[in-house]
Amino acid sequence: MANINQTDRSLLEAVADLHQVPEGAYNIRKNGQGLARHSTANIDIVQKTDKPGIDIRVKPGTQHESIHIPVILTESGLSDMVYNDFYIGEGADVLIIAGCGIHNCGDQRSQHDGIHSFHLARGARIRYVEKHYGEGNGSGERILNPRTIIEMEENSVCEMETVQIRGVDSTRRETEAHLAAGARLILTERLLTEGTQTAESDVSISLDGADAVTQIVSRSIARGHSLQVFHPVVIGNAPCRAHVQCDSMIMDTASIRSIPEIRANHSDAQLIHEAAIGKINSDQIVKLMTFGMSEEEAEAVIVENFLR
């Protein structure tokens, strides 16, 4: 890949596990500009003409191909806004690796706001993995505000994993999904905030068709003086099933709000919400110390596995 320096490389590795040119389709965006792009016979990536961003079209029936779309920001003071639209054809099955890495050494804020919309045709299936990562020792803030809209036709399946561990000062995530009959959405969110970081997550899922199923699993750790707010809303408009599980570990002087909402507009909607906030208990630390770990090592193991 041309024009890629060491900083870019480490960011790409952190957000997309990219060590070299990815196989399959890809689009790499750096500081608001396209850096590299590759379409395949089945996956077409086209730059939008009316606004920044790309359209990704996956042909019906495409099987087991992958799409990498990492975004990196290395300039301080840059504000990037991007629209990515995914059209997944009937019966296609693809893996999408997204992610945003910010390296901010300056004193001005670096911000990336992405609006991703997914259109899954009947029977389409995607696994979408998105990592957020921030680094750099400048005083400039690193801000990420992703918005995700998922439209799911009959019997489509979407597994979405989002990970944000350290480094991002402020994030506001909005996720909205509409599920037709037999569609299945699994959302997994993992988050660690520290210092004075803030993270807010609003999720709204409408189960509109019979036998639509969703499962939301959120695991988070708030350290330092950070703040987290979760507000998942699941709306059952048909005979459907939903299970929402929010589990948070709180440390130091952090603050966590978990605001569950399940709304049934149909008597055969089965909606469950579980939420818990608690600290690491001392018995867990002591147990691991009896294996020979220091208190710090024990805490790190507990945190790492909780977010695994």
Partner 1 sequence: MLELKHLEFRAPSTDGNGTEIIHDLSLRLASGRFTVITGPNGGGKSTLAKLIMGIERPTAGKILFDGQDITDLPVPERAKLGIGYAFQQPPRFKGLTVRRLLSLAHGSELPEDECCTYLTRVGLCSADYLNREVDASLSGGEVKRIEIATLMARNLRLAIYDEPEAGIDLWSFAMLVKSFRAMSDRQHESTLVISHQERIMQLADDILVVADGKIREMGPREQIFPHLLSQIDTGCSLRRTVGKEEA
User: What CA–CA distance (Å, rounded) separates 72 from 133?
Assistant: 9
* By the rule CB under 8 A, 305 interacts with partner 1: yes
CB of residue 50 to partner 1, shortest distance in Å: 44
* Sole binder of partner 1 in the list 59, 219, 225, 266 (CB under 8 A): 219
* Residue 302 sits in the site that holds partner 1 (CB under 8 A): yes
Nearer to partner 1, 174 or 247 (CB): 247
Closer of 83 and 306 to partner 1 (Cβ)? 306
| Residues constituting the chain | 308
Question: How big is the site for partner 1, counted in residues (CB under 8 A)?
Answer: 20
Q: Three-class SS of residue 285?
A: helix
Looking at residue 156, what DSSP letter applies?
-
48: its two tokens: 């939008």
Residue 265 binding partner 1, by CB under 8 A: no
Rule CB under 8 A: say whether 289 interacts with partner 1.
Answer: yes
Please, which residues have CB within 8 angstroms of residue 260's CB and are 6 or more apart in sequence?
A: 232, 244, 246, 273, 275
x/- letters, 232..261, toward partner 1 (CB under 8 A): ---------------x--------------
Judged by beta carbon, residue 189 or residue 211, the one nearer partner 1 is: 189
Report whether 141 contacts 170 (CB < 8 A).
yes
Backbone phi and psi for residue 121, each to the nearest 5 degrees, phi listed first:
-75, 175
Q: Shortest approach of partner 1 to residue 299 CB, angstroms? A: 12
d(CA 26, CA 44): 10
Q: Return residues touching partner 1 (CB under 8 A).
A: 219, 247, 281, 283-284, 286-294, 301-302, 305-308
